């Protein structure tokens, strides 16, 4: 029997196939056509990214050292950041190309990993690493907040961006010498009184480079609530500090 709904469905998938043939989706990093399910990177680029989960304990220990926070509860980080690699391309798209879907997508991937790893570990709130309100106005969004929303959609943990704000617009960390980085971020974060009501939070970041920013935030959070359990959820971490 003639079925209009089915026919429309066939037509739409046929049209989507045609569009894909004429304008194939390209890998963001190498610009070759995508032939599989990942929406942003091709298989070759994906396979070159080092997954942090293979060296999880070592990475967590390194994180405690670079953040200067031995009490850091737990961490879930997806990828190792390499200069010129596919992760750098992803971060660039996320920060400067208004590609919001990429933030939500990778947030969901972090959420999936966190859900498996932190099953017995309760987290009360997700706090994205803040950017200064002027930068947020120019960019239109905070990339870490997009990641947090993606994580929230899988874990159900609420995003509480208002708990932490950046009060001073600092220079980009990449343009500052290593010695000045800690000084550069010190005293630039303001923590809401409400943090005292929480037992365990997760700080959400796009990339941990020197650890100076996340370290300053942990210090500021613990100053307000000294027994707070802090977990780090990040898309990536740089190879060397
Ligand atoms: Zn590629």
Which positions ≥6 away from 237 have C-beta within 8 Å?
Answer: 52, 59, 62, 63, 77, 79, 80, 81, 207, 208
Q: Supply the pLDDT for residue 230.
A: 97
Residue tagged 């990214």 (tokens): 49
Q: Could you give the CA distance from residue 79 to residue 46 in angstroms, rounded to a whole number?
A: 10
Cα 48 to ligand 1 centroid, rounded to whole Å: 10
Answer yes or no: are the C-beta atoms of 231 and 203 closer than 8 Å. yes
Cα 72 to ligand 1 centroid, rounded to whole Å: 35
Cα 78 to ligand 1 centroid, rounded to whole Å: 18
**Reduced to 3 states, what is the DSSP secondary structure of residue 162?**
helix
Which positions ≥6 away from 211 have C-beta within 8 Å?
Answer: 63, 65, 66, 67, 68, 241
Give which of 103, 88, 107 is closest to 174, Cα–Cα: 88
Taking CA atoms, 227 is separated from 8, 51, 70, 224, in Å, by: 58, 31, 13, 9
Q: Supply the pLDDT for residue 126.
A: 98
Cα 32 to ligand 1 centroid, rounded to whole Å: 6
Task: With both helix axes pointing from N to C terminus, report the angle between 100-117 and 86-96 in degrees, rounded to the nearest 10.
Answer: 120
Q: Supply the pLDDT for residue 114.
A: 94
**Which residues, by Cβ under 5 Å, contact ligand 1, an ion?**
27, 29-30, 42, 45
Please name each of the domains of the chain with its CATH number: 1-48 (no CATH), 50-238 (3.40.50)
Average confidence (pLDDT) per 10 residues, the chain, 241 residues? 54 52 78 86 94 89 91 94 96 94 96 90 95 92 98 96 88 56 66 97 96 94 96 91 46
Task: Give the number of other Cβ atoms within 10 Å of residue 85's Cβ.
Answer: 18
């Amino acid at each position: 029997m003639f079925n209009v709904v089915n026919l429309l469905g066939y037509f739409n998938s046929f049209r989507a196939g045609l569009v894909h043939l004429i304008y194939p989706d390209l890998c963001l990093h190498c610009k070759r056509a995508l032939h599989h399910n990942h929406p942003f990177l091709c298989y070759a680029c994906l396979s070159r990214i080092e997954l942090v989960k293979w060296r999880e304990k070592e990475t967590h220990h390194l994180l405690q050292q670079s953040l200067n926070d031995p009490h850091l509860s737990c961490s879930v980080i997806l990828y190792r950041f390499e200069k010129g690699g596919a992760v750098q391309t992803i971060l660039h798209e996320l920060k400067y190309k208004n590609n919001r879907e990429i933030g939500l997508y990778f947030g969901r991937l972090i959420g999936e990993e966190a859900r498996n790893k932190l099953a017995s570990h309760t987290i009360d709130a997700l706090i994205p690493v803040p950017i200064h309100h002027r930068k947020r106005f120019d960019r239109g969004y905070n990339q870490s907040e997009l990641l947090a929303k993606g994580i929230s959609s899988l874990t159900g943990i609420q995003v509480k961006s208002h708990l932490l704000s950046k009060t001073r617009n600092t220079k980009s960390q990449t343009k500052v010498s290593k010695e000045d980085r800690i000084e550069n971020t010190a005293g630039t974060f303001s923590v809401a009184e409400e943090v005292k009501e929480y037992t365990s939070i997760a700080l959400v970041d796009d990339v941990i480079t020197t650890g100076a920013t996340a370290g300053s935030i942990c210090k500021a959070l613990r100053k307000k609530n000294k027994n707070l359990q802090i977990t780090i959820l990040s898309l990536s971490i740089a190879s060397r500090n």
